[in-house]
Amino acid sequence: MMCSVINIEKRRLLTEYPENVSLIAPEFMKIGVESTITCQVLDVAPARYLSVKLYKGDEQLGNRSFTHDSTRFPVNESIPFPVTPTRTDNGVEYTCVAELQLGPGGLKPNPEKRSPPLKIPVVYKPSLLSAAEENVEVREGGSIVLNCSADGNPAPTYEWKYPKADNVQEITKDGVSTVNITRASSSNDRVYECHAKNTYGVAMKNITLTVKEYPESVSLIAPDFMKIGVESTITCQVLDVAPARYLSVKLYKGDEQLGNRSFTHNSTRFPVNESVPFPVTPTRADNGAEYTCVAELQLGPGGPKLNPAKLSPPLKIPVVCVSSAVCDVNIDPSRVVVRFGDPVTVNCSTTREDVLEAGWEASVSPVNEQKSKIAVWNVSSLTVWDAEPKCFINYMNEPRQCVEKLDLVIYKYPENVSLIAPEFMKIGVESTITCQVLDVAPARYLSVKLYKGDEQLGNRSFTHDSTRFPVNESIPFPVTPTRTDNGAEYTCVAELQLGPGGPKPNPEKRSPPLKIPVVYKPSLLSAAEENVEVREGGSIVLNCSADGNPAPTYEWKYPKADNVQEITKDGVSTVNITRASSSNARVYECHAKNTYGVAMKNITLNVSSDSAQWGNKHFQILDIFAVRG
């Protein structure tokens, strides 16, 4: 029998910590664009136990190991990590950690070495810190500050666009740009554009400033005298006031208010002139009374505590006494409203006994009745516009003749009501929609309104137009649409407000409804930045959709691959990835664009390996045994 003695010699594993760990990175990174940060580890052994990790603050971004590297001698390793930064990553610290995971028998905790922390600027185009569209108001003569600020890297510079004026000053301080306006006037009433820009783009803000003006002048227009018991008209004339929708005009007799008129449906921002008639029927006691007109701007919250007002000079109007025993003429009805072509009958009478004749002067169907206390004006079909009927009565005694004019209103429905509008409107930009009313009479009773659905946008009347014949009217209404107005129906309503004696309800005619497309640049329907993950070998669908008019087209930017397919259907664009691999891990840029702009979405895809396949395997070689026989 032979016996062998086996001598076993045990040799220990030799390790060496990294000589140096550092980061190599670009001078800056661009938001949404993939960059590379490289961890450089010098003079470390053995490589197969080395684990290199990249951190953003306390968040681990990546991990690389070298388990298949059997080199026993010290090596240098440069490990690139892809990084796609967001806006919030500007100013964060990146750190590289090189760790030797030596397993059983090794040091605890695992020996590691860290790079010095590194801050990498993230550059991006400016983004406004407040709404892109603002409407503000200031009282005439007051002061206001318009603010514009944006976040961007590099910090944006600011440029304002508006007609320069001596009372306007621009100041930029601490990242905020302002336009300071003092002693505001109507010349400052406009849109102020702020452009915040840096090397990577521009953000634009529009501030619409409305200057609320006091009236330039307030005066009264009145007859030389008024008759007791007979209605007269006193007109308040208000010149050069803005905006009309806050204007209230009141007529006073002494301290007694006789009437009040407001213009809440007038959307005009520019100064206007308004003539406001008030009916007055005086009594004997009104002789010598003072009449005053007050124009007041009721500016509401943010306005001055006392509403700014302007008064007309007081006006005294003589009131004369006309005895009914002297001139006795009675017309029944006293006011007649008749449709063109319809019949009309009016009585005229007197109670005096010394009548010689009674009759009607008119351009159609005149009447002359001898020794009659009554005369009837009767027309089977009134087809003239200038009938101007007057009842006259001749007496034996003084006064020998009395004449009274009939208050006659001849009206005609509009022949046609239509809308004239642009082919499309642009969001946030003022357009004009015109109501066209054809062949209507009389104009002074016409009211034209523009509606968006059930919402009234404007109202225009023609109370100062004394034309009796049919006219054509074209009434422009300013409209500044929003995104939700796309598809809204606009309608014009022409109404004859004929007053006492007129038909009820007021006759009206409507235009056919009109839909006006509202165009606007695309706006994403989901977040502009997304991070998604898929298992290696799995499938995933990346979605991109935006609202815009015209409907946007989509363009994806990424390195093409055989396992990636793009599909656009029903306004949604997708990238479908099958059998995902590490080569698909990147940023996918989606550009949704139309004629009016572009919206961009970045989707960062991470492809993770199946860690389960490695869970029960250990790469730990702590001892090497040699067997000698």
Task: Tell me how far apart the alpha carbons of residues 210 and 195 are, in angstroms, rounded to a whole number.
Answer: 21
Q: Give me the pLDDT at residue 580, please.
A: 93
The reported pLDDT for the residue numbered 305 is 65
Question: What's the chain's average pLDDT?
Answer: 87
Architecture of domain 416-516: Sandwich (2.60)
Fold assignment, 10-120 = Immunoglobulin-like (2.60.40)
Q: pLDDT tens digit string along 273-316?
A: 888 999 999 988 899 899 999 998 887 776 666 777 889 999 99
In the numeric block, which tokens belong to residue 403? 């004449």
CATH architecture of 125-212: Sandwich (2.60)
- pLDDT number for residue 15: 56
Q: In the prediction, which pLDDT does 12 show?
A: 44
Q: Which residue has the higher pLDDT, 213 or 324?
A: 213
At a CB cut-off of 8 Å and minimum separation 6, what does 484 contact?
Answer: none
Output the pLDDT for position 322.
56
Q: What local confidence, expressed as pLDDT, does residue 326 receive?
A: 66
Residue type at 317 in one-letter notation: I
What pLDDT score does 293 carry?
95
Domain 125-212 matches domain 416-516 at the CATH topology level? yes
Q: Tokens 């990346």 belong to which residue?
A: 542
User: Residue 581 is encoded by which pair of tokens?
Assistant: 């691999």
C-alpha to C-alpha distance for 264 and 444, rounded to whole angstroms: 20
| Structural domain boundaries in the chain | 10-120, 125-212, 217-320, 330-410, 416-516, 522-613
How far is the C-alpha of 50 from the C-alpha of 469, rounded, in Å?
99
List all residues 6 or more positions away from 544 whose beta carbon is below 8 Å from its beta carbon.
524, 554, 556, 572, 573, 574, 575, 590, 592, 601, 603
**Residue 2's pLDDT band (cuts 50, 70, 90):** very low
Does CATH number 3.40.50.620 belong to domain 330-410? no
The CATH number of the domain covering residues in 217-320: 2.60.40.10
**Sequence-ordered list of residues with C-beta below 8 angstroms from that of 444, at least 6 positions apart, any chain:** 462, 463, 464, 465, 466, 467
Give the whole-angstrom CA distance, residue 116 versus residue 93.
Answer: 10
For the sheet containing 374-379, what is the strand order? 330-332, 344-349, 374-379
Which tens digit of pLDDT belongs to each residue from 380-410? 999 999 999 999 999 888 788 888 999 999 9
At which residue do the structure tokens 């598809």 appear?
487
Judge if pTM exceeds 0.75.
no
Architecture of domain 522-613: Sandwich (2.60)
Cα–Cα dist 62/94, whole Å? 12
Cis? peptide before 399, omega within 30° of 0: yes
